[in-house]
A and B are shown apart, each in its own frame.
Chain A
Amino acid sequence: MSTVTDAPPAPPALPDKPRKVRRRGRLVPYWLLLPGILWLVVFFALPMVYQASTSVQQGSLEDGFKVTWHFATYWDALSDYYPQFLRSVLYAGCATILCLLLGYPLAYLIAFRAGRWRNVVLILVIAPFFTSFLIRTLAWKTILADGGPVVGALNTLHVLDVTTWLGMTEGNRVLATPLAVVCGLTYNFLPFMILPLYTSLERIDGRLHEAAGDLYASPATTFRRVTFPLSMPGVVSGTLLTFIPAAGDYVNADLLGSTDTRMVGNVIQTQFLRILDYPTAAALSFILMAAILVMVTFYIRRAGTEDLV
């Protein structure tokens, strides 16, 4: 991601001042960093360490958990729950692609064509955030209800035949199928795709489009050779902002799916809150984190965004 990562600027050297003052001046940036660092330590580093130690503990709620360096938990978790892992990646991947396909044209319209409606449309994109995530997801239960207008329309248009063939739906229903979960994920994470896309599209100088046109590029070629490459930072940050939370999500699978659509988030939630098997839950979290890190690193390398201005 090519977001701003500027280090705090080094204070200018003051050769005329006594040494003591200069040293204190040099420490100022670190004092300013302190609240942030404390926040990270308390709310990120410590919980991580605690969770890491939990993941190698053994025991039960009655007898208490003890650190036994039982790394086999990781292997057991992976071999027991790899279908849920794969499902998470698959659903999150589908949702990310759908978000990109839906979000890019919208972001493009907002950036280049909306004119004075730009801010209104942007607010409309963010407006759903004013309602609770849960409520919005539950609304999809109604939207996709069996025998409802949406399912009816999809049926008439034979879309369901295709999705059934793809294994995303079963019979004449959408609710409690993978498609419903993907729809929920797409809907819930769409703004996270649109906003970074919009930001990077909006920054493109309109004269570059004119220059491309002047140099014999048709509008389609201009998009392919100029607009899209220049929007890559937005594509990369948008897909990451969509994929990462979607891969760990469990609400959509819980509310819109069935036991056959359980994602790794659902497993972690069950392990932690119902079965109270803390080590397995912690190990699953770490595996998910590692898997996402590996995929993201690979993806960023491939996208080559460090090259972009």
Chain B
Amino acid sequence: MTTLQQSDHGGDVRLTGISKTYDNGFTAVRPLDLTVPQGSFFALLGASGCGKTTTLRMIAGLEEPTTGTVHLGDQDVTGLPPYKRPVNTVFQSYALFPHLDIFENVAFGLRRRGIKSVKKQVEEMLDLVQLGEHKRKKPHQLSGGQQQRVAVARALINHPKVLLLDEPLGALDLKLRRQMQLELKRIQTEVGITFVHVTHDQEEAMTMADTVAVMNQGRVEQLGAPTDLYENPGSTFVANFLGTSNFVEAEIMGRAGDALTLRAGDGKLTLPADRCSAATATGGKVLVGVRPEKISLTHADDAAGIADGRNRITGRITESSFIGVSTQFVVDSPLCDAFEVYVQNVERDARLVPGAEVVLHWNPAHTFGLDAAQDIEAGVEKVSEDAAA
């Protein structure tokens, strides 16, 4: 991971060698270095129990790190209690004070810092989150989305150096969640405060964040811009957790310029060398990955028309489901028994039905190569896990 300590980033959040082991021996976060640049929208993404919330709570001061330090800019805040840190949190359950009205909830932080005339600021903040007319209501009189906005306003009004968001949209229904994602992004752009957002929803992380850190078992698996992570996943976990990936095991045959030639089963595949994160020695094994939407599907009868230089795999359609904008196919091939392919519904070929013999082909530039010594299924979201989270 690259840290930007040399450059002048006075408001960066810097975690150095931070880890957390609970009294019962469970290690939630393994020693971790992380720098969140000032003013960025940073997402910590991972399944439940991966340590993302613990990391966030250590920045907030609600959890004491077992090792390591937390810096906000140049200030070491590791030993500071939460009420002395210039950070604010939007809690997963909002944690609004039930005995105070909306106005007083939002004014809470200002009043604690001894600011007397809070009226103007609070009203401006309530306008920003479009809750001006509700200021005398109690939290329980508001809907989930409104409570969530109060929670954001209550934290933002303090102009923290960093705003921490702990799965703030988890309790909202899908439509509202989409709306709030855009809303939060708008607010972040408007106020320019660093946001650190914890979520298990990969789509949420990709829509909102400038930088995403994918966490798994207390470690950061990969860190980068959303497109980067999606196009160049560094591990099967990231490849599967962010979207869907197809994997084929292949052996490196040789190198031709910038491209590696691979043998998978009887076929030949091409992989750009710079998109392979595994060792590229001839004879080595790699996992060749490709995203379902990069693949084109052509009926076997038309195979002659496929341009040269494209990676191709033959197979037979086992399932197809029409989902409006696209059709999702599952293709059984000798290399992989469940190849997923998403085809845009532009010019539908009526022959592409279950049972049809097809050729899958894609531009080699969309191929990525990973170390073969890892679990292909890592990071695949299980339905039960998702429901529990």
Is B one of A's binding partners? yes
Chain A residues with CB under 8 Å of chain B are 205, 207-208, 210-218, 221, 225-226, 229-230, 232, 307-309
From A208, A218, A307, A309, give the contact of B83 (CB < 8 A). A218
Q: Which residues of B contact A (CB under 8 A)?
A: 60-62, 81-84, 87-89, 91, 93, 95-99, 108-109, 112-113, 138, 140, 154-155, 158
Q: Is the CB of A309 within 8 A of B62?
A: no
The smallest C-beta distance from A59 to any residue of chain B, in angstroms, reads 56
For B98, the closest partner residue in chain A by CB is A309
Instruction: Check A211 against B112 for contact (C-beta < 8 Å).
Output: no
User: In the complex, which of the residues B61, B62, B109, B140 contacts A215, with contact meaning CB atoms closer than 8 Å?
Assistant: B109
In the bound complex, CA of A213 to CA of B93 (Å): 16
Kindly list chain A residues whose C-beta atoms are within 8 Å of the C-beta of B97. 208, 211-212, 226
Given contacts A212-B97, A215-B155, A230-B99, could you give 5 more A-B pairs where the C-beta distance is less than 8 Å? A214-B88, A215-B109, A216-B109, A308-B99, A309-B98
List residues of chain A with CB within 8 A of the CB of B140: 309
A309 CB contacts on chain B under 8 angstroms: 98-99, 138, 140
Are A215 and B81 in contact, CB atoms less than 8 angstroms apart? Answer: no
A-B CB proximity, top 5 nearest: A211-B95, A215-B109, A216-B112, A213-B82, A207-B95
Q: CA separation between A213 and B87, bound complex, in Å?
A: 11
Chain B proximity of A233: nearest CB distance (Å): 10
Contact of B88 among A205, A215, A218, A225 (CB under 8 A): A215
A218-B61 Cα distance, complex, nearest whole Å: 13
Q: If A215-B109, A215-B112 touch, does A208 touch B138 (CB 8 Å cutoff)?
A: no
- Mind listing 9 A-B residue pairs with CB under 8 Å? A210-B82, A210-B91, A211-B97, A215-B108, A215-B158, A217-B83, A217-B112, A221-B112, A309-B99
Smallest CB separation, A56 vs chain B (Å):
47
- Which residue of A has the minimal Cβ distance to B81? A213
Chain A residue numbers with a CB within 8 Å of B138 are 309
CB of B154 within 8 A of CB of A215, answer yes
Selected from B84, B95, B108, B113, the residue in CB contact (under 8 A) with A210 is: B95
**What residues on A are CB-neighbors of B87 within 8 Å?**
214
Which of B87, B91, B99 has the largest number of chain A CB atoms within 10 A?
Answer: B99
Q: Assuming the A-B contacts A221-B112, A309-B138, A309-B140, are A213 and B95 also in contact, with contact meaning beta carbons closer than 8 angstroms in the complex?
A: no
Choose from A207, A215, A218, A221 the contact partner of B93 (Cβ within 8 Å): A207
- Provide the residues of chain B in CB contact with A221, threshold 8 Å: 112
CB distance from B54 to the nearest CB of A (A): 14
Are A216 and B83 in contact, with the CB atoms below 8 A?
yes
Question: Which residues from chain A contact B61 at a C-beta distance below 8 Å?
Answer: 213-214
> Which residues from chain B contact A307 at a C-beta distance below 8 Å?
99
A229 to B97, CA, bound (A): 10
Most A CB contacts (10 A, CB to CB) among B61, B83, B93, B109 go to: B83
Within 8 Å CB of A215, what residues of B? 83, 88, 108-109, 112, 154-155, 158
Closest to A221 in B: B112
Interface-centre pick from B95, B96, B109, B154 (highest chain A CB count, 10 A): B95
